[in-house]
Structure 1
Amino acid sequence: MMLAKSDSDETSPIYYVQSPTRDSNDRSTQATPVFHSPMESPSHPFYGRHSRASSSSRVSGSLTSSSTTTGRKGRGKRNDKRWPECNVIEEEGEYIELPRRFYQFFIGVLGLLAIICLFCIIIWGSSRPYKPEVTVKSLTVHNFYLGQGSDFTGVPTKVLTTNCSLKIKVYNPATFFGIHVSSVPVNLMYLEIVVATGQLKKYYQSRKSHCNVDVNLGGVKIPLYGAGASLEVSDNDRVPMTLVFDVWSHGNVVGKLVKSRHTRHVFCAFAIDRDNSKPIKFKKDSCTYG
Protein backbone atom coordinates (compact mmCIF):
# COMPACT_ATOMS: atom_id res chain seq x y z
CA MET A 1 0.00 0.00 0.00
CA MET A 2 1.56 3.23 -1.09
CA LEU A 3 1.28 6.31 1.05
CA ALA A 4 0.55 9.62 -0.49
CA LYS A 5 3.27 12.23 -0.18
CA SER A 6 2.30 15.48 1.23
CA ASP A 7 3.47 18.85 -0.06
CA SER A 8 5.55 19.39 3.04
CA ASP A 9 7.54 16.22 2.37
CA GLU A 10 8.41 17.27 -1.17
CA THR A 11 9.51 20.75 -0.27
CA SER A 12 11.26 20.04 3.03
CA PRO A 13 15.08 20.32 2.84
CA ILE A 14 17.40 17.37 3.28
CA TYR A 15 20.54 17.83 5.50
CA TYR A 16 23.81 15.96 5.22
CA VAL A 17 26.69 15.93 7.68
CA GLN A 18 30.13 15.20 6.35
CA SER A 19 32.60 13.62 8.75
CA PRO A 20 36.28 14.74 8.73
CA THR A 21 38.62 12.71 6.52
CA ARG A 22 42.03 11.32 7.31
CA ASP A 23 43.71 14.42 5.95
CA SER A 24 42.20 16.51 8.72
CA ASN A 25 45.52 16.44 10.61
CA ASP A 26 47.35 18.07 7.73
CA ARG A 27 44.70 20.45 6.59
CA SER A 28 42.33 22.76 8.36
CA THR A 29 39.00 21.30 9.59
CA GLN A 30 36.30 21.60 6.95
CA ALA A 31 32.99 23.08 7.94
CA THR A 32 29.85 20.94 7.67
CA PRO A 33 27.85 22.10 4.67
CA VAL A 34 24.30 23.19 5.30
CA PHE A 35 21.81 22.92 2.45
CA HIS A 36 18.76 25.09 2.48
CA SER A 37 16.94 23.65 -0.52
CA PRO A 38 16.68 20.39 -2.54
CA MET A 39 18.60 22.04 -5.36
CA GLU A 40 21.67 22.25 -3.12
CA SER A 41 21.41 18.65 -1.99
CA PRO A 42 23.89 16.12 -3.38
CA SER A 43 21.02 13.80 -4.24
CA HIS A 44 19.51 16.35 -6.57
CA PRO A 45 20.45 15.69 -10.22
CA PHE A 46 21.58 19.27 -10.74
CA TYR A 47 23.78 19.38 -7.65
CA GLY A 48 26.95 17.89 -9.13
CA ARG A 49 27.13 20.06 -12.19
CA HIS A 50 26.12 23.18 -10.36
CA SER A 51 28.55 22.71 -7.48
CA ARG A 52 31.44 21.76 -9.75
CA ALA A 53 30.88 24.74 -11.98
CA SER A 54 30.61 27.16 -9.13
CA SER A 55 33.63 25.74 -7.32
CA SER A 56 35.72 25.70 -10.48
CA SER A 57 34.76 29.27 -11.24
CA ARG A 58 35.68 30.34 -7.72
CA VAL A 59 39.03 28.54 -7.84
CA SER A 60 39.88 29.86 -11.28
CA GLY A 61 38.93 33.37 -10.19
CA SER A 62 41.07 33.20 -7.07
CA LEU A 63 44.00 31.82 -9.05
CA THR A 64 43.63 34.55 -11.64
CA SER A 65 43.55 37.30 -9.02
CA SER A 66 46.51 35.83 -7.11
CA SER A 67 48.54 35.39 -10.30
CA THR A 68 47.76 38.97 -11.30
CA THR A 69 48.84 40.27 -7.91
CA THR A 70 51.97 38.16 -7.97
CA GLY A 71 52.78 39.40 -11.45
CA ARG A 72 52.47 42.98 -10.32
CA LYS A 73 54.68 42.55 -7.27
CA GLY A 74 57.21 40.36 -9.01
CA ARG A 75 58.72 37.12 -7.87
CA GLY A 76 59.83 37.04 -4.27
CA LYS A 77 60.84 34.56 -1.62
CA ARG A 78 58.28 31.90 -0.70
CA ASN A 79 57.98 29.90 2.47
CA ASP A 80 57.16 26.17 2.88
CA LYS A 81 53.46 26.77 2.20
CA ARG A 82 54.23 28.63 -1.04
CA TRP A 83 53.18 32.00 0.43
CA PRO A 84 55.23 35.03 -0.72
CA GLU A 85 57.35 36.63 1.97
CA CYS A 86 57.69 40.40 2.44
CA ASN A 87 60.58 42.27 4.09
CA VAL A 88 58.98 45.71 4.20
CA ILE A 89 58.78 45.80 8.00
CA GLU A 90 62.41 44.73 8.44
CA GLU A 91 63.65 47.30 5.92
CA GLU A 92 61.68 50.06 7.63
CA GLY A 93 63.13 48.97 10.98
CA GLU A 94 66.70 49.21 9.64
CA TYR A 95 65.91 52.55 8.00
CA ILE A 96 64.67 53.95 11.31
CA GLU A 97 67.42 52.36 13.44
CA LEU A 98 70.40 53.76 11.48
CA PRO A 99 69.48 57.47 11.75
CA ARG A 100 68.68 56.97 15.43
CA ARG A 101 72.15 55.55 16.09
CA PHE A 102 73.71 58.35 14.06
CA TYR A 103 71.86 61.01 16.09
CA GLN A 104 72.88 59.34 19.36
CA PHE A 105 76.53 59.28 18.25
CA PHE A 106 76.33 62.91 17.09
CA ILE A 107 74.79 64.04 20.38
CA GLY A 108 77.46 62.14 22.31
CA VAL A 109 80.26 63.83 20.35
CA LEU A 110 78.69 67.26 20.93
CA GLY A 111 78.41 66.55 24.64
CA LEU A 112 82.07 65.52 24.83
CA LEU A 113 83.17 68.64 22.95
CA ALA A 114 81.07 70.82 25.25
CA ILE A 115 82.72 69.28 28.31
CA ILE A 116 86.21 69.79 26.82
CA CYS A 117 85.41 73.42 25.92
CA LEU A 118 84.08 74.09 29.39
CA PHE A 119 87.20 72.58 30.94
CA CYS A 120 89.46 74.68 28.67
CA ILE A 121 87.56 77.88 29.51
CA ILE A 122 87.92 77.20 33.24
CA ILE A 123 91.66 76.54 32.90
CA TRP A 124 92.14 79.61 30.69
CA GLY A 125 90.26 81.79 33.18
CA SER A 126 92.37 80.51 36.05
CA SER A 127 95.58 81.34 34.14
CA ARG A 128 94.64 84.97 33.38
CA PRO A 129 95.78 86.46 36.73
CA TYR A 130 99.32 85.08 36.27
CA LYS A 131 100.71 88.04 34.35
CA PRO A 132 104.53 88.12 34.31
CA GLU A 133 106.25 90.94 36.16
CA VAL A 134 108.91 92.96 34.31
CA THR A 135 111.40 95.26 36.07
CA VAL A 136 114.08 97.41 34.43
CA LYS A 137 117.11 97.19 36.69
CA SER A 138 119.89 99.26 35.08
CA LEU A 139 121.35 100.76 31.90
CA THR A 140 125.10 100.96 31.25
CA VAL A 141 126.35 103.36 28.57
CA HIS A 142 129.53 102.10 26.92
CA ASN A 143 129.75 104.67 24.16
CA PHE A 144 128.03 107.99 23.56
CA TYR A 145 129.53 110.11 20.75
CA LEU A 146 128.05 113.17 19.05
CA GLY A 147 129.77 114.32 15.84
CA GLN A 148 129.36 115.80 12.40
CA GLY A 149 128.23 113.60 9.55
CA SER A 150 125.54 113.12 6.88
CA ASP A 151 122.40 111.00 6.36
CA PHE A 152 121.94 108.29 3.70
CA THR A 153 121.10 110.94 1.07
CA GLY A 154 124.27 112.93 1.75
CA VAL A 155 122.66 115.80 3.66
CA PRO A 156 125.10 117.06 6.35
CA THR A 157 123.78 116.83 9.90
CA LYS A 158 124.74 115.93 13.44
CA VAL A 159 125.06 112.15 14.03
CA LEU A 160 125.04 110.15 17.25
CA THR A 161 126.73 106.83 17.96
CA THR A 162 125.56 104.96 21.05
CA ASN A 163 126.31 101.59 22.63
CA CYS A 164 124.47 100.47 25.79
CA SER A 165 123.51 97.35 27.73
CA LEU A 166 120.18 97.01 29.53
CA LYS A 167 119.38 94.65 32.41
CA ILE A 168 115.79 93.42 32.85
CA LYS A 169 114.33 91.16 35.50
CA VAL A 170 111.32 88.93 34.63
CA TYR A 171 109.27 87.03 37.20
CA ASN A 172 106.79 84.28 36.26
CA PRO A 173 104.15 83.97 39.04
CA ALA A 174 102.31 81.05 37.39
CA THR A 175 102.13 77.97 39.61
CA PHE A 176 101.33 75.32 36.98
CA PHE A 177 102.83 76.41 33.64
CA GLY A 178 105.97 78.00 32.21
CA ILE A 179 106.13 80.90 29.78
CA HIS A 180 107.94 81.82 26.56
CA VAL A 181 109.27 85.40 26.78
CA SER A 182 110.11 87.70 23.87
CA SER A 183 109.82 91.39 23.01
CA VAL A 184 109.44 93.94 20.26
CA PRO A 185 112.56 96.03 19.52
CA VAL A 186 113.78 97.88 22.62
CA ASN A 187 114.22 101.54 21.62
CA LEU A 188 116.35 104.20 23.25
CA MET A 189 115.01 107.57 22.12
CA TYR A 190 116.16 111.18 22.20
CA LEU A 191 113.06 113.33 21.76
CA GLU A 192 111.24 111.49 18.92
CA ILE A 193 114.33 109.95 17.34
CA VAL A 194 115.43 106.36 17.98
CA VAL A 195 119.17 106.60 18.65
CA ALA A 196 119.72 102.96 19.72
CA THR A 197 117.76 99.75 19.43
CA GLY A 198 118.03 96.12 20.55
CA GLN A 199 116.08 92.88 20.79
CA LEU A 200 115.33 90.61 23.72
CA LYS A 201 116.16 87.06 22.70
CA LYS A 202 113.28 84.64 23.06
CA TYR A 203 113.64 82.16 25.91
CA TYR A 204 111.61 79.81 28.11
CA GLN A 205 111.06 80.47 31.80
CA SER A 206 109.76 77.85 34.22
CA ARG A 207 106.93 78.40 36.69
CA LYS A 208 107.48 80.44 39.87
CA SER A 209 110.92 81.62 38.78
CA HIS A 210 112.98 84.80 38.34
CA CYS A 211 115.21 85.50 35.36
CA ASN A 212 117.69 88.34 34.63
CA VAL A 213 117.98 89.22 30.94
CA ASP A 214 120.59 91.41 29.21
CA VAL A 215 119.70 93.39 26.09
CA ASN A 216 122.35 95.14 23.99
CA LEU A 217 121.34 98.48 22.45
CA GLY A 218 123.29 100.14 19.68
CA GLY A 219 123.09 102.86 17.09
CA VAL A 220 125.83 103.97 14.70
CA LYS A 221 125.86 107.48 13.19
CA ILE A 222 122.17 108.11 13.65
CA PRO A 223 121.27 111.42 11.95
CA LEU A 224 119.70 113.95 14.35
CA TYR A 225 118.89 116.81 11.92
CA GLY A 226 117.44 119.71 13.94
CA ALA A 227 117.58 117.78 17.21
CA GLY A 228 121.36 117.62 16.91
CA ALA A 229 121.68 121.36 17.47
CA SER A 230 119.61 121.19 20.66
CA LEU A 231 121.69 118.25 21.90
CA GLU A 232 124.91 120.11 21.20
CA VAL A 233 123.87 123.22 23.15
CA SER A 234 122.28 121.27 26.05
CA ASP A 235 123.93 120.61 29.35
CA ASN A 236 127.12 118.62 28.74
CA ASP A 237 126.59 116.44 31.76
CA ARG A 238 123.02 115.11 31.33
CA VAL A 239 121.01 114.22 28.21
CA PRO A 240 117.29 113.35 28.61
CA MET A 241 116.39 109.98 27.16
CA THR A 242 113.42 107.61 27.10
CA LEU A 243 113.29 103.82 26.93
CA VAL A 244 110.24 102.22 25.27
CA PHE A 245 109.48 98.54 24.54
CA ASP A 246 106.94 95.74 25.03
CA VAL A 247 107.55 92.34 26.60
CA TRP A 248 105.45 89.44 25.30
CA SER A 249 104.81 86.17 27.10
CA HIS A 250 102.70 83.14 26.34
CA GLY A 251 102.31 79.90 28.24
CA ASN A 252 100.99 76.54 27.05
CA VAL A 253 98.55 75.74 29.84
CA VAL A 254 97.01 72.59 28.29
CA GLY A 255 99.44 71.76 25.51
CA LYS A 256 98.70 73.95 22.49
CA LEU A 257 94.97 73.75 23.16
CA VAL A 258 94.88 76.43 25.88
CA LYS A 259 97.41 79.29 25.89
CA SER A 260 97.86 82.23 28.23
CA ARG A 261 99.14 85.41 26.53
CA HIS A 262 100.21 88.65 28.20
CA THR A 263 101.87 91.90 27.13
CA ARG A 264 103.80 94.32 29.33
CA HIS A 265 104.38 97.84 28.01
CA VAL A 266 107.47 99.47 29.55
CA PHE A 267 108.22 103.19 29.48
CA CYS A 268 111.19 104.74 31.33
CA ALA A 269 112.35 108.37 31.43
CA PHE A 270 115.92 109.12 32.59
CA ALA A 271 119.03 111.11 31.77
CA ILE A 272 122.41 109.95 30.49
CA ASP A 273 125.54 111.50 31.97
CA ARG A 274 128.06 111.59 29.16
CA ASP A 275 130.97 112.03 31.56
CA ASN A 276 129.94 109.16 33.84
CA SER A 277 130.18 105.53 32.70
CA LYS A 278 128.60 104.03 35.81
CA PRO A 279 125.39 102.03 35.36
CA ILE A 280 122.19 104.03 35.69
CA LYS A 281 120.00 102.49 38.38
CA PHE A 282 116.24 102.61 37.86
CA LYS A 283 113.93 103.15 40.78
CA LYS A 284 110.38 101.83 41.04
CA ASP A 285 108.89 105.16 40.01
CA SER A 286 111.34 105.65 37.14
CA CYS A 287 109.36 103.37 34.81
CA THR A 288 105.73 102.56 34.14
CA TYR A 289 104.59 99.01 33.37
CA GLY A 290 101.33 98.67 31.52
Structure 2
Amino acid sequence: MSSKDCGHHEDESRKLIRLILFGVGGFFFVVLLTIFIIWAVLRPTKPKFTIQDATLYAFNLSSPATNTLTITMQVTLSSHNPNRRIGIYYSNLHAYASYHNQQVTLATELPPTYQGHKDFTVWSPFLFGAAAPVSPFTLSSLQQDRGAGAVVVNVKIYGRVKWKVGTWVSGRYHLFVNCPAYIRFTGGGDRSGSGIQIVAPAKFQLLQGCSVDV
Protein backbone atom coordinates (compact mmCIF):
# COMPACT_ATOMS: atom_id res chain seq x y z
CA MET A 1 0.00 0.00 0.00
CA SER A 2 1.41 3.39 -0.96
CA SER A 3 1.91 6.24 1.49
CA LYS A 4 -0.80 8.11 -0.40
CA ASP A 5 -3.33 5.38 0.39
CA CYS A 6 -2.29 5.36 4.06
CA GLY A 7 -2.76 9.10 4.29
CA HIS A 8 -6.20 8.79 2.71
CA HIS A 9 -7.27 6.18 5.27
CA GLU A 10 -5.95 8.32 8.13
CA ASP A 11 -7.96 11.29 6.89
CA GLU A 12 -11.10 9.15 6.71
CA SER A 13 -10.51 7.89 10.26
CA ARG A 14 -10.07 11.42 11.61
CA LYS A 15 -13.27 12.54 9.86
CA LEU A 16 -15.16 9.58 11.35
CA ILE A 17 -13.87 10.36 14.85
CA ARG A 18 -14.88 14.03 14.45
CA LEU A 19 -18.35 13.02 13.33
CA ILE A 20 -18.73 10.69 16.32
CA LEU A 21 -17.57 13.40 18.73
CA PHE A 22 -19.92 15.97 17.16
CA GLY A 23 -22.78 13.45 17.36
CA VAL A 24 -22.16 12.64 21.03
CA GLY A 25 -21.74 16.33 21.89
CA GLY A 26 -24.93 17.21 20.03
CA PHE A 27 -26.84 14.46 21.84
CA PHE A 28 -25.78 15.69 25.28
CA PHE A 29 -26.55 19.27 24.28
CA VAL A 30 -30.09 18.30 23.27
CA VAL A 31 -30.59 16.37 26.52
CA LEU A 32 -29.36 19.27 28.66
CA LEU A 33 -31.44 21.75 26.68
CA THR A 34 -34.54 19.57 27.13
CA ILE A 35 -33.95 19.34 30.89
CA PHE A 36 -33.50 23.10 31.12
CA ILE A 37 -36.68 23.79 29.14
CA ILE A 38 -38.69 21.37 31.32
CA TRP A 39 -37.31 23.00 34.47
CA ALA A 40 -38.03 26.50 33.15
CA VAL A 41 -41.60 25.62 32.18
CA LEU A 42 -42.57 23.50 35.20
CA ARG A 43 -40.54 25.23 37.92
CA PRO A 44 -40.60 22.18 40.26
CA THR A 45 -40.88 23.12 43.93
CA LYS A 46 -40.66 20.78 46.90
CA PRO A 47 -43.78 20.37 49.08
CA LYS A 48 -44.39 22.60 52.08
CA PHE A 49 -45.18 21.00 55.45
CA THR A 50 -46.80 22.57 58.51
CA ILE A 51 -47.43 21.17 61.98
CA GLN A 52 -50.82 22.58 62.95
CA ASP A 53 -51.29 21.30 66.49
CA ALA A 54 -50.19 18.70 69.00
CA THR A 55 -52.26 16.97 71.68
CA LEU A 56 -50.18 15.54 74.49
CA TYR A 57 -51.61 12.55 76.34
CA ALA A 58 -48.52 11.53 78.31
CA PHE A 59 -45.13 13.07 78.99
CA ASN A 60 -43.35 11.46 81.89
CA LEU A 61 -39.63 11.52 82.56
CA SER A 62 -38.73 9.02 85.27
CA SER A 63 -36.43 9.61 88.22
CA PRO A 64 -32.65 9.23 87.78
CA ALA A 65 -32.95 5.59 88.83
CA THR A 66 -34.10 4.53 85.35
CA ASN A 67 -33.81 7.60 83.08
CA THR A 68 -36.68 6.73 80.75
CA LEU A 69 -39.18 8.90 78.92
CA THR A 70 -42.77 7.94 78.20
CA ILE A 71 -44.57 10.09 75.65
CA THR A 72 -47.88 9.77 73.83
CA MET A 73 -49.06 12.49 71.49
CA GLN A 74 -51.18 13.12 68.43
CA VAL A 75 -50.06 15.69 65.89
CA THR A 76 -51.80 17.25 62.92
CA LEU A 77 -49.51 17.64 59.92
CA SER A 78 -50.42 19.24 56.60
CA SER A 79 -48.61 19.18 53.28
CA HIS A 80 -49.12 21.61 50.41
CA ASN A 81 -48.10 21.00 46.81
CA PRO A 82 -47.18 24.48 45.48
CA ASN A 83 -46.71 23.30 41.88
CA ARG A 84 -49.21 24.19 39.17
CA ARG A 85 -48.27 21.45 36.70
CA ILE A 86 -46.69 18.75 38.89
CA GLY A 87 -48.41 16.16 41.08
CA ILE A 88 -46.70 14.40 43.98
CA TYR A 89 -46.92 10.76 45.06
CA TYR A 90 -46.09 10.07 48.73
CA SER A 91 -45.13 6.55 49.81
CA ASN A 92 -43.38 4.73 52.68
CA LEU A 93 -44.02 7.70 54.96
CA HIS A 94 -43.24 7.33 58.67
CA ALA A 95 -43.44 9.90 61.47
CA TYR A 96 -41.79 9.87 64.88
CA ALA A 97 -40.89 12.27 67.69
CA SER A 98 -37.34 13.11 68.65
CA TYR A 99 -35.67 15.26 71.26
CA HIS A 100 -32.17 16.61 70.67
CA ASN A 101 -31.80 14.17 67.75
CA GLN A 102 -32.70 11.19 69.94
CA GLN A 103 -35.77 9.26 68.78
CA VAL A 104 -38.23 9.03 71.69
CA THR A 105 -41.24 7.35 70.02
CA LEU A 106 -41.78 4.51 67.63
CA ALA A 107 -42.23 5.36 63.94
CA THR A 108 -45.89 5.56 62.88
CA GLU A 109 -46.70 4.76 59.25
CA LEU A 110 -48.69 7.37 57.31
CA PRO A 111 -51.04 6.31 54.49
CA PRO A 112 -49.65 6.77 50.96
CA THR A 113 -51.37 9.43 48.93
CA TYR A 114 -51.33 11.38 45.68
CA GLN A 115 -51.33 15.15 45.85
CA GLY A 116 -52.61 17.03 42.84
CA HIS A 117 -51.66 20.49 41.67
CA LYS A 118 -51.95 23.06 44.49
CA ASP A 119 -53.60 20.44 46.74
CA PHE A 120 -53.36 19.99 50.51
CA THR A 121 -53.07 16.73 52.47
CA VAL A 122 -53.59 16.34 56.22
CA TRP A 123 -52.36 13.51 58.48
CA SER A 124 -53.10 13.08 62.20
CA PRO A 125 -50.83 10.29 63.47
CA PHE A 126 -50.48 9.07 67.06
CA LEU A 127 -46.88 8.84 68.28
CA PHE A 128 -46.06 6.43 71.10
CA GLY A 129 -42.95 5.96 73.18
CA ALA A 130 -43.14 3.78 76.30
CA ALA A 131 -40.25 4.04 78.75
CA ALA A 132 -37.69 4.92 76.09
CA PRO A 133 -34.17 5.11 77.59
CA VAL A 134 -32.64 8.58 77.41
CA SER A 135 -28.99 9.52 77.45
CA PRO A 136 -27.46 11.56 80.30
CA PHE A 137 -27.17 14.53 77.92
CA THR A 138 -30.88 14.26 77.04
CA LEU A 139 -31.77 14.02 80.73
CA SER A 140 -29.76 17.17 81.49
CA SER A 141 -31.43 19.05 78.61
CA LEU A 142 -34.89 18.03 79.82
CA GLN A 143 -34.07 19.30 83.29
CA GLN A 144 -33.05 22.65 81.81
CA ASP A 145 -36.25 22.78 79.75
CA ARG A 146 -38.24 22.03 82.86
CA GLY A 147 -36.76 25.14 84.46
CA ALA A 148 -37.57 27.19 81.33
CA GLY A 149 -41.16 25.92 81.33
CA ALA A 150 -41.23 24.50 77.79
CA VAL A 151 -39.74 21.73 75.69
CA VAL A 152 -39.21 21.44 71.93
CA VAL A 153 -40.12 18.03 70.53
CA ASN A 154 -39.25 17.57 66.86
CA VAL A 155 -41.74 15.60 64.80
CA LYS A 156 -39.84 14.06 61.90
CA ILE A 157 -41.11 12.42 58.71
CA TYR A 158 -39.16 10.30 56.27
CA GLY A 159 -40.30 8.51 53.14
CA ARG A 160 -40.35 8.68 49.34
CA VAL A 161 -41.87 11.04 46.78
CA LYS A 162 -42.38 10.80 43.04
CA TRP A 163 -43.22 13.65 40.66
CA LYS A 164 -45.99 13.33 38.06
CA VAL A 165 -46.18 15.47 34.93
CA GLY A 166 -49.02 14.46 32.62
CA THR A 167 -48.66 10.70 32.21
CA TRP A 168 -44.94 10.72 33.07
CA VAL A 169 -43.91 9.67 36.61
CA SER A 170 -40.38 10.15 37.92
CA GLY A 171 -38.31 7.78 39.99
CA ARG A 172 -38.49 7.85 43.78
CA TYR A 173 -36.72 10.53 45.82
CA HIS A 174 -35.98 10.59 49.54
CA LEU A 175 -38.11 12.95 51.64
CA PHE A 176 -37.04 14.27 55.04
CA VAL A 177 -39.23 16.65 57.09
CA ASN A 178 -38.49 18.22 60.48
CA CYS A 179 -41.30 19.96 62.40
CA PRO A 180 -40.56 21.64 65.77
CA ALA A 181 -43.40 21.34 68.32
CA TYR A 182 -43.18 23.74 71.27
CA ILE A 183 -44.73 22.05 74.33
CA ARG A 184 -45.34 24.12 77.47
CA PHE A 185 -45.30 22.61 80.92
CA THR A 186 -48.84 23.17 82.17
CA GLY A 187 -49.67 23.96 85.77
CA GLY A 188 -50.34 21.13 88.17
CA GLY A 189 -47.79 18.74 86.70
CA ASP A 190 -45.45 16.76 88.87
CA ARG A 191 -41.99 18.31 88.81
CA SER A 192 -40.79 16.88 92.10
CA GLY A 193 -37.27 15.50 92.28
CA SER A 194 -35.80 14.86 88.85
CA GLY A 195 -39.01 13.61 87.28
CA ILE A 196 -41.12 15.58 84.84
CA GLN A 197 -44.78 15.02 84.12
CA ILE A 198 -47.07 17.25 82.08
CA VAL A 199 -50.75 17.32 82.96
CA ALA A 200 -52.54 15.59 80.09
CA PRO A 201 -54.38 15.75 77.84
CA ALA A 202 -53.15 19.15 76.75
CA LYS A 203 -53.58 20.57 73.25
CA PHE A 204 -51.18 23.09 71.77
CA GLN A 205 -51.95 25.17 68.67
CA LEU A 206 -48.69 25.44 66.74
CA LEU A 207 -49.09 26.42 63.05
CA GLN A 208 -45.33 26.05 62.66
CA GLY A 209 -43.59 25.62 59.33
CA CYS A 210 -41.30 22.63 58.83
CA SER A 211 -38.00 22.19 57.06
CA VAL A 212 -38.19 19.93 54.00
CA ASP A 213 -35.38 18.17 52.15
CA VAL A 214 -35.92 16.18 48.92
Task: Pick one of 105, 108, 118 that aligns with 2:33.
Answer: 118
Distance in 2 (CA, whole Å) between partners of 1:109 and 1:229 is 60
Tell me how far 1:114 sits from its aligned partner.
0.7
Task: Pick one of 25, 43, 55 that aligns with 1:140.
Answer: 55
Tell me how far 1:170 sits from its aligned partner.
0.5
Q: Residues 94, 202 of structure 1: CA spacing in aligned structure 2 closer, same or farther, 3 A cutoff?
A: farther
Q: Does 1:267 align with 2:177?
A: no
> What secondary structure does 2:105 align onto?
strand
Q: Residues 99, 277 of structure 1: CA spacing in aligned structure 2 closer, same or farther, 3 A cutoff?
A: same
Q: Residues 256, 188 of structure 1: CA spacing in aligned structure 2 closer, same or farther, 3 A cutoff?
A: closer
Distance in 2 (CA, whole Å) between partners of 1:279 and 1:206 is 28
Distance in 1 (CA, whole Å) between partners of 2:15 and 2:111 is 53
Task: Pick one of 96, 99, 116 that aligns with 1:207.
Answer: 116
In the superposition, the TM-score normalised over structure 1's length comes to: 0.48
Question: Highest relative contact order (Cα 8 Å, sep 6+), 1 or 2?
Answer: 2
Contact 1:167 1:212 in 2 (8 A): yes
- CA offsets, 1:64-118, max 9 Å, x none? xxxxxxxxxxxxxxxxxxxxxx987667545533432342233022112112112
Q: Does 1:281 align with 2:205?
A: yes
Percent identical residues: 15
Task: Pick one of 156, 160, 169 that aligns with 2:69.
Answer: 160
Contact 2:156 2:178 in 1 (8 A): yes
> What secondary structure does 2:201 align onto?
coil
> What secondary structure does 2:46 align onto?
coil
In the superposition, the TM-score normalised over structure 2's length comes to: 0.61
Q: What amino acid maps onto 1:104 in structure 2?
A: L
Counterpart of 1:179? 88
> What secondary structure does 2:116 align onto?
coil
Q: From the CA coordinates, give the structure whose radius of gyration is larger.
A: 1
Q: What amino acid maps onto 2:49 in structure 1?
A: V
Contact 2:162 2:170 in 1 (8 A): no
Structure having the larger proportion of residues in strand: 2
Counterpart of 1:153? none
Q: Does 1:220 align with 2:105?
A: no
Q: Residues 98, 158 of structure 1: CA spacing in aligned structure 2 closer, same or farther, 3 A cutoff?
A: closer
- CA offsets, 1:28-82, max 9 Å, x none? xxxxxxxxxxxxxxxxxxxxxxxxxxxxxxxxxxxxxxxxxxxxxxxxxxxxxxx
Equivalent residue pairs, number:
189
Distance in 1 (CA, whole Å) between partners of 2:142 and 2:179 is 29
Distance in 2 (CA, whole Å) between partners of 1:202 and 1:118 is 37
Tell me how far 1:263 sits from its aligned partner.
5.8
List alignment gaps of at least 5 residues for structure 2. Answer: 187-197
Task: Pick one of 107, 118, 126 that aligns with 1:198.
Answer: 107
Distance in 2 (CA, whole Å) between partners of 1:125 and 1:263 is 25
Aligned ranges 1:29-68 → 2 under 5 Å? none
Q: Does 1:169 align with 2:84?
A: no
Q: What amino acid maps onto 1:213 in structure 2?
A: W
> What secondary structure does 2:26 align onto?
helix
Distance in 2 (CA, whole Å) between partners of 1:136 and 1:92 is 74
Tell me how far 1:145 sits from its aligned partner.
4.3
Contact 2:94 2:110 in 1 (8 A): no
Q: Residues 159, 87 of structure 1: CA spacing in aligned structure 2 closer, same or farther, 3 A cutoff?
A: closer
Q: Residues 102, 178 of structure 1: CA spacing in aligned structure 2 closer, same or farther, 3 A cutoff?
A: same
Contact 1:242 1:268 in 2 (8 A): yes
Contact 2:155 2:181 in 1 (8 A): no
Task: Pick one of 121, 140, 151 that aligns with 1:241.
Answer: 151
Contact 2:44 2:86 in 1 (8 A): no
Aligned ranges 1:97-116 → 2 under 5 Å? 97-116=12-31
Tell me how far 1:126 sits from its aligned partner.
5.3
